[in-house]
Amino acid sequence: MMVFRIIVTGSFNSGKTEFIKQISEIEPITTDKPVTEQDLKEIKALTTVALDFGRLTIDDDIIIHLYATPGQERFDFIYPLLLKNALAVIILGDITDEKSLKDITKYYRKFYNLKRLPTVVALTKTDLDNKVQQEKIDEYLSSLPKDVPIKMINATDKEDVKKTVLLALQMLLESDEDQEEIV
Ligand SMILES: Nc1nc2c(ncn2[C@@H]2O[C@H](COP(=O)(O)OP(=O)(O)O)[C@@H](O)[C@H]2O)c(=O)[nH]1
Ligand SMILES: [Mg+2]
């Protein structure tokens, strides 16, 4: 059995907690909940810095652990720690919030500079009416590499969230194959 760790990041209010809540088969650990479950020992230390954690069983062989990054910059020290065990990154951006969309590139660079991992961008709240103009969205996302997929999702919708996680899983499995070919 393998555990794949995926990081969920993005600005405050972009839907990280909601994303993990939708997909986790355990009661997700969030900022306001203490650790209770036995199998969550490994992140016990991390929860003190306001980290969301969820778990998803794909099949007998694959389990996914999802970690949402804390919002406050004073917790930035946790990024390298999280990345040490992570295999993919999902960056969320709120499609109704310009700042959140601008932040996507910031988060992409932040993680890319620490470790190069398969990355998926998901624009959340696409079910809402007050979306940012398409030209602006295009502008804010224009500097992302073309191989970074951009999905439109509703983070309160379980299926949307699941598809996003499965895309990240697929990308990391493919990147694994690439590495084996090089070797
Ligand atoms: N309608 C709608 N609401 C969303 C969506 N994503 C997040 N929300 C709501 O937006 C608010 C902020 O989301 P949250 O997950 O707490 O953001 P976080 O700060 O990134 O953890 C919550 O009330 C969510 O339920 C979405 O895709 N659609
Ligand atoms: Mg949150």
- pTM, full prediction: 0.88
Residue 70 is predicted with a pLDDT of 76
What is the per-residue pLDDT for 183?
Answer: 46
Strand pairing partners for 8?
Answer: 68, 90
HEC profile of the chain: CEEEEEEEEECCCCCHHHHHHHHCCCCCECCCCCCCCHHHHHHHHHHCCCCEEEEEECCCCEEEEEEECCCCHHHCCHHHHHHHCCCEEEEEEECCCHHHHHHHHHHHHHHHHHCCCCEEEEEECCCCCCCCCHHHHHHHHCCCCCCCCEEECCCCCHHHHHHHHHHHHHHHHHHHHHHHHHC
pLDDT digits (tens, 9 = 90+) for 54-107: 899 988 888 999 998 876 666 777 778 788 888 999 999 999 999 999 999 999
Give me the pLDDT at residue 121, please: 98
Residue from 66, 73, 156 whose mutation best tests the ligand 1 pocket (most atoms within 8 A of CB): 156
Which residue minimizes the CA distance to atom 7 of ligand 1? 15
Cα(162) to centroid(ligand 1), Å? 16
Annotation: CATH topology of 2-182: Rossmann fold (3.40.50)
Tell me how far the alpha carbon of residue 94 lies from the centroid of ligand 1, in angstroms.
8
Per-residue pLDDT at 48? 47
Residues of the chain with pLDDT under 50: 32, 34-35, 39, 44, 47-48, 182-183
Domain residue limits, the chain: 2-182
Q: Are 62 and 169 within 8 A, CB to CB?
A: yes
